[in-house]
């Protein structure tokens, strides 16, 4: 049975407030994980980072989502927080809270799966952390659902950056790009389900 929260209308005051709260919680969890990582990076990587690193422990499906909440470098955490804040301001008029969570999860999981696949092919054992893939999925979906020159400018910027980084880090570049593609697919399906995305309840 779908709860009342699931039926929140896209763009309504309650929906916008709930998405802001969810994003705030995500940001806080990023900060908490960064603090934990600074105190014991080995334990964090062992239990939550994604990849074929030999010291990984615990079920792989926990790593598949948990890695997106870990940020070790302060500048990387700051960049992702700023990007999350910008994307949330756009997303509040395009998806409801459940759609927002699905976008984050879809991006993290799709990026993670591609990272595992490419790493296996290239025998890469470096662990993956960070919410970049989840943010790329949000960006891709919003570029399709609410197209604007500003959003598509960021999409082109991201694609150029990943292309330039492919030679030095193909696993990471393909992982980030896969998150963007997953967002494109999500946004395209959303537009097919409801051409007027801003007023749709996107449950599929």
pLDDT at 74 over 90: no
Mean pLDDT of 95-100: 91
- The confidence score (pLDDT) of residue 80 equals 95
- The confidence score (pLDDT) of residue 41 equals 80
Closest CA to 71 of 130, 23, 26: 130
- Comparing 193 with 107, the larger pLDDT belongs to 107
pLDDT at 147 over 90: no
Question: pLDDT band for position 121 (50/70/90)?
Answer: very high
Minimum mean pLDDT among 13-22, 33-42, 180-189: which range? 33-42
Instruction: Tell me if 99 sits within 8 A of 151, measured CB to CB.
Output: no
Give burial (CB, 10 Å; 0-12/13-18/19+) of 150: exposed
CA torsion angle 92 22 1 64 (round to 10)? 110
Rounded mean pLDDT of the chain? 87
Question: pLDDT band for position 171 (50/70/90)?
Answer: very high
- The confidence score (pLDDT) of residue 204 equals 32
Beta bridge partners of 128: 50
Instruction: Tell me if 128 sits within 8 A of 70, measured CB to CB.
Output: no
Go through the domains of the chain in sequence order and give each one's CATH number.
5-199 (1.20.1540.10)
């Amino acid at each position: 049975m779908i709860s009342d929260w699931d039926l929140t209308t896209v763009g309504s005051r309650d929906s916008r407030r709930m998405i802001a709260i969810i994003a705030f919680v995500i940001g806080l969890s990023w900060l908490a994980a960064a603090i934990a990582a600074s105190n014991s990076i080995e334990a964090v990587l062992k239990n939550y980072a994604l990849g074929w690193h030999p010291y990984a422990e615990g079920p792989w499906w926990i790593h598949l989502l948990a890695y997106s909440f870990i940020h070790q470098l302060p500048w990387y955490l700051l960049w992702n927080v700023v990007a999350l804040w910008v994307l949330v301001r756009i997303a509040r008029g395009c998806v409801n809270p459940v759609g927002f969570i699905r976008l984050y999860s879809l991006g993290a999981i799709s990026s993670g799966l591609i990272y595992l696949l490419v790493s296996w092919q290239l025998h890469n054992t470096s662990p993956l952390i960070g919410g970049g893939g989840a943010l790329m999925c949000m960006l891709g979906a919003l570029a399709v659902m609410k197209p604007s020159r500003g959003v598509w400018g960021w999409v082109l910027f991201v694609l150029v950056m990943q292309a330039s980084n492919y030679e030095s880090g193909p696993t990471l570049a393909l992982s980030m790009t896969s998150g963007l593609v997953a967002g494109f697919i999500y946004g395209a399906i959303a537009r097919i389900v409801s051409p007027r995305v801003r007023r749709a309840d996107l449950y599929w």
